[in-house]
Structure 1
């Protein structure tokens, strides 16, 4: 039998033990802010439900993001929504509150985000202030020493970009993880023709150009690997459990025709929580942006992510 007391008398093992303890405490105290365009598709809901349940994560905020896009102006329907009456950020906000209530976590602050992009259709960087941006600023300013607020964005990056424009002093207090764009590692080619980026290209360009910002990007190229099967998902979800019923209903109402769905947002959240299941590469920004290095997820272990999602969701 391993005698921990004797091992602790040996300097080497004592050093290893203290290091592991420090790492555990450091992770347990990590403050995380999640920004989500929850009303857009269905995978946001799965990502939020997962992150809320992760032990050791101090989720200090869940803000709503808009998903304004050109289709809302020219088509009558967006998924199951009537576009004539749809207010994107308000729908994201409604769902955020519904999820938190179902999980008994209304104690997590959940401020409303901006209702449109920064700047205008032709560019510019005029901030789009909101309760969400102000809350991110306030939390970032609470960070002490080398501590950083980890911000995860699942949709348009308007809220975090606005926070950084309004309060440049928080740049060194934020570590940003965002879902957006396509990137091909073999050719080192970027493609910004992607939904989240199209919803606020100005914000993405601002963040890419912001020298010194610690920026990690989950591209849709990489997150495409994480897919859920519709029938398996229905079978696994227990609709007697409030949050699981919400997840089932979201697929059933908004995407019933899809036999599989890419879980874009869940891929980012799970890669963040389990970095051992993801490969991160240092990459130069696109040629039209300020030349600097950002981090890009280039590979994920989708099988392990699927398995872990279901394990944690079912954990009491």
Structure 2
């Protein structure tokens, strides 16, 4: 009897230790939600793949975003993004990751949110954070879902940090060009983020991220013919028709704008982050903007991660 009790006690201690260890590990990981207009281009898919399985992340969900200004836009762009998110997670055997549907429309007014499953999910996860944690919201497309979450519940502001991929920016003159594609898909939502005096906003500009360029030859070597997710990425590259440039018609290279912001969050030491005033037309306050990235290390790390995923 004594031996049985001893074994049971040891088992309980082991289980408790594992539970504590897991809890501590979850606290140490970066809680993150990715908001992506995945159907708009190619780089969103590569960025999502980079984030999935990253040991530093506690990836809470991937929300879908609209992109109504694209010449390819249908009347249901958010559904298209949603479908690709679902397909990609199925191919990666990660159907455990929540994929809330975002708004299909941009904001109609600066104080009127577009309520959606995605906006409510962001609010819920922000309030579920443990003490000392900050929810990292990574916006790869339009700002509609995140801006709506803030408008629906401003009490999440102290609990979140917004990481936004957008703008063209001149660091020397501190001038902004909001005609960049992501910003143009919901200008009112962009201004919600810029104007809120207490929102912690960090921006990976198009000016900075444009330097992260992948070659098709590398993509083929690393991914082609390797099934499921790898071939899905290759197919997306080969079948998506660029509308914004006539250069490089053979699509031998592609700018991985969105990958840059994911890599920056994982490895901040590979970036230069500076503080600037917001645009003159917005509430004047400080925001952080990435002005340089280590392209070589980011590329190397991306393919290291891919190889890790393929070995599992």
TM-score by length of structure 1 reads 0.85
Check conservation: 1:281, 1:298, Cα contact below 8 A.
yes
> How many residue pairs align between the two structures?
280
The Cα shift of 1:164 comes to 0.4
Q: In the alignment, is residue 113 of structure 1 matched against residue 102 of structure 2? A: yes
Check conservation: 2:278, 2:287, Cα contact below 8 A.
yes
| Structural mapping, 1:172-187, within 5 Å | 172-187=158-173
- The answer for the alignment partner of 2:157 in structure 1 is 171
The Cα shift of 1:240 comes to 2.6
Q: In the alignment, is residue 155 of structure 1 matched against residue 141 of structure 2? A: yes
Q: In the alignment, is residue 53 of structure 1 matched against residue 42 of structure 2? A: no
**Aligned partner of residue 33 in structure 2, secondary structure:** strand
Match of 2:84 among 87, 95, 99: 95
User: Where does structure 1 differ by over 6 angstroms across 4 or more consecutive aligned residues?
Assistant: none
**Aligned partner of residue 61 in structure 1, secondary structure:** strand
**Aligned partner of residue 262 in structure 2, secondary structure:** helix
TM-score by length of structure 2 reads 0.86
The Cα shift of 1:239 comes to 2.6
The Cα shift of 1:227 comes to 0.3
- The answer for the alignment partner of 1:205 in structure 2 is 191
CA distance in 2, matches of 1:267, 1:176: 15
CA distance in 1, matches of 2:75, 2:237: 19
CA distance in 1, matches of 2:27, 2:240: 36
**Aligned partner of residue 67 in structure 1, secondary structure:** coil
Check conservation: 2:31, 2:135, Cα contact below 8 A.
yes
CA distance in 1, matches of 2:26, 2:80: 35
- The answer for the alignment partner of 2:300 in structure 1 is 307
**Aligned partner of residue 244 in structure 1, secondary structure:** helix
CA distance in 2, matches of 1:225, 1:55: 26
Match of 1:217 among 198, 203, 206: 203
Match of 1:286 among 279, 284, 302: 279
- The answer for the alignment partner of 1:30 in structure 2 is 30
The Cα shift of 1:188 comes to 1.2
- The answer for the alignment partner of 1:17 in structure 2 is none
Aligned CA distance change for structure 1 residues 243 and 27 (closer, same or farther; 3 Å) = farther
Check conservation: 1:53, 1:313, Cα contact below 8 A.
no
Match of 2:229 among 240, 243, 251: 243
Check conservation: 1:125, 1:202, Cα contact below 8 A.
no
The Cα shift of 1:312 comes to 0.7
- The answer for the alignment partner of 2:7 in structure 1 is none
The Cα shift of 1:26 comes to 7.6
The Cα shift of 1:257 comes to 2.8
String of CA shifts for 1:60-88, please: whole Å, max 9, x gaps: 1100001111x54xxxxx2xxxx5x5621
Aligned CA distance change for structure 1 residues 129 and 271 (closer, same or farther; 3 Å) = same
Check conservation: 2:27, 2:133, Cα contact below 8 A.
no
CA distance in 1, matches of 2:218, 2:31: 33
CA distance in 1, matches of 2:192, 2:85: 27
- The answer for the alignment partner of 1:16 in structure 2 is none
Structure 2 unaligned spans of 5+: 1-23, 242-248
**Aligned partner of residue 53 in structure 1, secondary structure:** coil
